Structure 1
Amino acid sequence: KETSSKRDSPQRKPPVPSIRDVPKMGTRTEKNFVQTNALDVVMTVPKKPERNVVDDRFGD
């Protein structure tokens, strides 16, 4: 009796292509990665600076 079923198993990755498979030529993406990254950086909320921990007389 099997304890696992197909429903319970996670999705499998597609098989690794054979060394003899030729990649599809001419496929290009329309996404502009540089501009997308720049916009992500500009639109993010700035991080608060870390507090400097200094040992002194008052323990601050």
Structure 2
Amino acid sequence: MNTPQPSQVHWRKSTHSGADEGNCVEVADLNGRVGVRDSKAPAAGHLALTRRGFADLLAHLRP
């Protein structure tokens, strides 16, 4: 699988994140996987989850 370089990836924050809030995660499409990273430390790296794994994570985190 060809993973795009970080400079080519469009990272986005949740619409639930406030403009000035510091505790945000960002997600991106990584050619069939979902990238997840800390918006405060983007250079620290990211997780690459399968779409199913990302859906499972969201289901687990929902109240």
Instruction: Give the structure-2-normalised TM-score.
Output: 0.20
Instruction: Give the structure-1-normalised TM-score.
Output: 0.21
Q: Which has the higher contact order (CA 8 A, sep 6+)?
A: 2
Q: State the structure with more CA Rg.
A: 1
The structure in which a higher percent of residues are strand is 2
The structure in which a higher percent of residues are helix is 2
